Structure 1
Amino acid sequence: MIKTTAAICVAPNVPLEIDTLTVDGPGPGEVLVEIVASGLCHTDLTALEGVNASSVYPLIPGHEGAGRVVEVGLGVTTLCIDDHVIPLYGPECGECSMCRSKRTNLCWTIKPTRDRGVMPDGTSRFMRGNKPVHHFMGTSTLSRYTVVPEIALAKIRKDAPLDKVCLFGCGVTTGVGAALAHVRPGDKVAVFGLGGIGVNIIQGARIAGASRIIGIDISSAKTELATSYGMTDFIRPGPDAPDPVVAIRDLTGGGVDVAFECTGVLGVMRQSLDCCVPAWGVSVLLGVEPSGSELSFPPVQVRYGKSIVGSYFGGIKGRTGLPGLIDRFMEGEIDLDRQITHRLQLHEVNEGFHLMKQGKSVRSVVMFE
């Protein structure tokens, strides 16, 4: 058992509390990780605002971190002390039917317990006094020390800067990975929502060879960054602006090959389908919709060849696929520096989420060193 400093969400819509907790050592198949840096992601905000159905309070948020292995539990074979790792909210066990299918990067081996805020054995490793504090997304990277199942840790090269590659824990991988999976050379692409995921889709679409990349957002705050990443056109919807679908069709001569939706707004999801070219256009949904939502569209669009698909963590298998993306970053193909807009200490974490809600940050990184 060791001490850790962590940000604690005691209840929705209450500022995070910074406190010292105790962390039990890793159990069988588990690993104790010292987090060096953690990015702040909008999914964390869903827990803070009480709209994330898998949040059990009190909890320690954070799922975009990077750190070093401190201790390994019984039966751990793929990781050693001092290995550099990125915690994964989506594990890769390699043995379940999903992993063996080779059709998906989804692995739900530990999902039932993860969504209850506990480890696979049904208990928490965090204690505040004599009361447990729940894990979040199986990672809880806004704690200096955290315990994660071995199957939910990606081992990465030691020369990769942890204060940057922490962003591969969610936003960068989700965005770049989705674009690399769906965009072909010469494609015309639309990206709805230019937050952390949206700008990385633009970066990935450029890498994949898209000929035109159209960004759509109600704010123009991210246009400079999006343009530097490859955006060729920007549409800002509004009461006095043309309908985005019409504008996209006009710009592309009929529609885009691939549209990415990153807002979670049902009306925008429908726009992402409507702006696709008939016969082969693909709408890729990444935004998280409110619980209980349903999307409607004319079936004729699908019968005439359009398709709607989802993307989870960019389609990347965390343990086997993520190291390759980090190699591409280290080779200079993927940029991280321009999207890290703020570096904060843990006691400034509430300010980081405030900057996010105001649209003044792309990614804030909380430093533990």
Structure 2
Amino acid sequence: METAGKVIKCKAAVTWQAHEPFSIEEVEVAPPKGHEIRIKMVATGICGSDDHALEGKLKEVTFPIILGHEGVGIVESIGEGVKGFKPGDKVIPLFMPQCCQCVCCKDPRTNICTLPITTGRPRGLMADGTSRFTCKGKQLYHFANTSTFAEYSVIDEIAAAKIDDNAPLDNVCLIGCGFSTGYGSAINTAKVHPGSTCAVFGLGGVGLATVMGCKAAGASRIIGVDINKDKFVKAKELGATECINPKDYDKPIQQVLIEQTGGGLDYVFECIGNTETMVSAINASHFAFGTTVIVGVAPSTKTITIDPMIFLTGRTMKSSLFGGWKSKDSVPKLVTDYMEKKFDLDKLVTHRLPLEKINEGFDLLHKGNSIRTILTF
């Protein structure tokens, strides 16, 4: 492409500091260096983790920054030494990279890649310790290996997955985070078994994807838990057998669930990132064999306090990052499954907005009026 090797000027939603609205700015995006690719974004979802970063709840975030991590786009150019990608390829950026070489990438028990950690990579910067973004003469930081709230972004080749050339470049962006995280937490992490009972705390995009995963795994009872009753219709459409609002009861929600299930649930998923509901989710699991999966991302400053005695009888607590999927291996397969209609991403999308209306999209999230809003470029 004629832009290869050149600085590209484009629009991006810049976050200058925490708690401030996004500012649509013209930014300069430098060419990719060795083992990097530059992507022209087509669509990106708004995720709760982006909101946590915006509110300064994630210590890993340095401002000013370009957020966003749930995108899909087309390779514009590649840096020296890049293998497996060429200009024109359709790709999904990966906030969970996969180098395929480190001890964890080679181990089937985890989907964590240790390369960014072991190389001492500075937070918010590329592997060489520099940024590819500048605006008004100032360096901007990268976010989660991706920074998808920009028309162009530069990412490491280990942080991208090439997808089917025929894949639609819209809703598949959800496979970059929200859908895969929820769906995989049931399929991979919990390993929900047929006939089991499940409860999902939080019926946002991730929680609803978890409901879809529980249904696909054959759970016989799937209870959605949320304080927003407006989400119940969609949850039942996607597989929840019933939904309850904790505000409707004068007792702790875990006690309600234990009473309604005769002792507790086989699997409980916390998809909010609230430390209080994490404790409730753990206590709602069956005392002898229940499994609780922590899916939601809590603020970095929060902690949970749990009575260790509740685990002695057999409870298990797990966490699920990106649904346990090894990203470069799994994302292309998930895209193919979507194209083959093995699951329906379309039902998770409630709003579509241009990048310029990103603040409106976050307002929808804060008010609980959206499941997933997709921004287009």
Query: Which letter maps to 1:221?
Result: D
Which aligned pairs between 1:210-289 and structure 2 lie closer than 5 A?
Answer: 210-238=219-247, 240-289=249-298
Q: Please, which of 175, 187, 191 is the counterpart of residue 168 of structure 1?
A: 175
Is the CA contact (8 Å cut-off) linking 1:114 and 1:138 kept in structure 2? no
Following superposition, the deviation at residue 251 of structure 1 comes to: 2.4
What residue identity is the alignment partner of 2:360? E
Q: How many angstroms does 1:250 deviate by?
A: 2.5
1:342 maps to: 351
CA contact (8 A) 2:38 2:76 kept: yes
Partner Cα separation in structure 2 for residue 155 and residue 271 of structure 1: 40
The aligned counterpart of 2:130 is 123
- Output the CA distance in 2 between the equivalents of 1:242 and 1:199: 25
Distance 1:259 1:240, change over 3 A: closer
Match of 1:367 in 2: 376
CA distance in 2, matches of 1:349, 1:13: 14
SS in 2 for 1:100: coil
The amino acid that maps onto 2:141 is H
Residue 24 (structure 2) aligned to one of 3, 18, 21? 18
**TM-fit CA distance, 1:172:** 0.2
Distance in 2 between residues matched to 1:240 and 1:201, nearest whole Å = 24
What is residue 47 of structure 2 aligned with on the other side? 41
Matches within 5 A, 1:91-240: 91-111=97-117, 116-181=123-188, 182=190, 183-238=192-247, 240=249
State the shift of 1:279 in Å. Answer: 2.4
1:50–1:293 distance in 2 versus 1, CA, 3 Å: closer
RMSD: 1.4
- Equivalent-residue separation in structure 2 for 1:336 and 1:269 (angstroms): 26
Deviation, structure 1 residue 239: 6.7
C-alpha distance in structure 2 between counterparts of 1:28 and 1:314, whole Å: 30
Give 1:107 deviation, angstroms: 0.8
1:214 partner amino acid: I
**Counterpart Cα distance in 1 of 2:300 and 2:131:** 26
For 1:298 and 1:47, how far apart are their aligned partners in 2?
30
Q: Secondary structure of the equivalent of 1:256?
A: coil
Aligned length: 368
Q: Percent identity?
A: 42
Tell me what 1:90 maps to.
96
For 2:162 and 2:22, how far apart are their aligned partners in 1? Answer: 30
* Distance in 1 separating the partners of 2:227 and 2:110: 33
Q: Is the deviation greater in 147-156 or in 264-273?
A: 264-273
**Bigger CA drift: 203-212 or 235-244?**
235-244
Give the distance between the partners of 2:285 and 2:353, measured in 1 at CA.
Answer: 40
Range with greater deviation from structure 2 (262-271 or 199-208): 262-271
- Where 2:255 maps in the other structure, the secondary structure is helix
3-state SS in 2 of match to 1:274:
helix
Give the secondary structure class of the aligned counterpart of 2:352: strand
Structure 1 residue 278 displacement after superposition:
2.6
- Residue 300 of structure 1 and its aligned partner are, at CA, apart by 2.6
Is the CA contact (8 Å cut-off) linking 1:235 and 1:244 kept in structure 2? no
For 2:67 and 2:299, locate their aligned partners in 1 and report how far apart those are by CA, in whole Å: 19
Counterpart among 292, 305, 312 of residue 296 in structure 1: 305
Cα distance, 1:322 vs structure 2: 1.4
Q: Is the 8 A contact 2:15 2:66 kept in 1?
A: yes
TM-score normalised by structure 2 residue count: 0.94
The amino acid that maps onto 1:25 is P
Secondary structure of the 2:158 match is: helix
Q: Aligned partners of 2:136, 2:308: CA distance in 1, in Å? A: 56
* TM superposition score normalised by structure 1: 0.96
Structure-1 separation of matches of 2:372 and 2:248: 29
Residues 115/6 of structure 1: CA separation in 2 closer, same or farther (3 Å cut): same
Q: Secondary structure at the match of 1:123?
A: coil
